Amino acid sequence: MSRIASSEMLKQKIEEGAAVFGVVGLGYVGLPLIVEMAARSGNHCIGFDICPDRAQQVNDGISYIGDISSKELAPLAQQKLIEATTDFSRASECDVIVICVPTPLNSNNQPDVSYMESAAAAIAPHLKSGVLVTLESTTYPGTTEEILLPAIQSDELTLGENLFVAFSPERVDPGNETWKIGNTPKVVGGLDEKSTDLAAFFYGKFIDTVVPVSTARAAELSKLFENIFRCVNIALVNELAQLCERMDIDIWEVIDAAKTKPFGFMPFYPGPGLGGHCIPIDPFYLSWKAQEFDFHTQFIELAGRTNKDMPYYVKRRLMDVLNTQEKALNGARILALGVAYKANIDDMRESPAIDVISLLGEKGADVRYHDPHVEEYTQGEERVSSVPLTPAEVARADAVIILSGHTSVDYEMVAENAQLILDTRHVMPSYSSDHIYKL
């Protein structure tokens, strides 16, 4: 089959709704993607996951991801527009496969691409001629070409002839009610021109705006740049917050004043540290890859270290707050409000709140937490449960520390009953009092 015939045939199948779409990995990225894909394209979609319970929940129409409701998922599952399986041999049914698996760092802050390698190895024996494979997992420039392509290419499948490969970075923002999968512009870069064209055509079936770039490497770096930009600016404001505390200046007032400038300024806010799967991790992907080119990303690495130090600063700040009442952290009862990495979600990936709570515990504090979105979590081998947020619980604490700014929390009640409050999220600006301290 010629290159043109193979690619044009796939385009035609996608256009007619006859193509089968596959998604490998049904987590925070994969599940929202497959729901949008099925709902807006009308194509049959198969989700692949190594977890049988997760696959069963999808088939039962039960969502386990906060951004996707069961009301959205259930009709698609009932109509068989979406089905989930642990049988990767069914990749042979798919005309397009999107890989959405985790790409964490190992203990040495080096990229761990093992999940991606496993996903590629699982689908490779079953890929049909003329298939499009796209990777959405955030990673360093060159991954699609250097790791994914060799894993799936074979004597029967040749890039640009009957195999098409592209990278398209996920842009999922948990809890964002405005920007979802469908209306967030999608960057796409293929390993050849035909792959870019096909991937852009595919995503255009269910995403409003597709932004093609010249190469997969450009697309890979674009995602890293987006998050490095945020990481560096958050590090800057976190450092300024520490300086402002010494200078007795309100950093939040400074930010509010600066953002009145209608040009040349974008506000970023301090916090107890960075959370989520992207911003705390992505900069180190580029730093690791840069060494291959004898280049050291000192600016990026400094920002990463500054943000990683924030939980330690928060611990020291709480110790100072307790000292105002002649209390020690050792033996103090602390109520932590929020363990999710940001407001109004249940996502705890890389949450700085967990680091803060662990540091306080290491210093002998008796720490309890309340989070309306997280009923319990595992710390080591121990299951820790959220306590009810009552006036009595607040009053019993020697100090309350706000680590996630969930809007459903009754902060007025907290302000009225707490002995001391350390607010790391600036959720209590209207409750100014001698017992309320900011980051």
d(CA 223, CA 26): 20
Measured distance CA(118)–CA(184) in Å, rounded:
29
d(C-alpha 438, C-alpha 250), whole Å: 8
Instruction: Say which of 45, 94, 244, 278 is annotated catalytic.
Output: 278
Distance separating alpha carbons of residues 425 and 317, to the nearest angstrom: 14
Which residue stretches of 259-334 are H helix? Answer: 282-290, 298-308, 310-323
- Of 346, 342, 338, nearest to 64 by C-alpha is 346
- Helix axis angle for 70-78 and 30-41, nearest 10°, is 60
Phi-psi region of 139 (alpha: psi -120 to 50; beta: other; left: phi over 0): beta
End-to-end CA distance of the chain: give it in Å, rounded.
Answer: 64
Other C-beta atoms within 10 Å of 388: how many?
A: 7
Could you tell me the two tokens for 288? Answer: 């690791």
Bridge-based pairing state of the strands 436-438 and 210-212: unpaired
Token pair of 396 as six digits = 């019993």
Helix H or strand E segment including 401? strand 399-402
278 belongs to the catalytic site? yes
How far is Cα 331 from Cα 329, in angstroms, rounded to an integer?
Answer: 6
Counting every residue written for the chain, the total comes to 439
H/E element, 385: strand 382-385
Q: What are phi and psi of 23, to 5 degrees?
A: -130, 125
- In whole angstroms, give the CA distance from residue 70 to residue 68: 7
For 261-285, b/e burial (b = at least 16 CB within 10 A) is eeeeeeebbbbbbbbbbbbbbbbbb
Rounded Cα distance between 343 and 163, Å, is 42
Cα 265 from Cα 67, distance rounded (Å) = 30
Residues annotated as part of the active site: 278
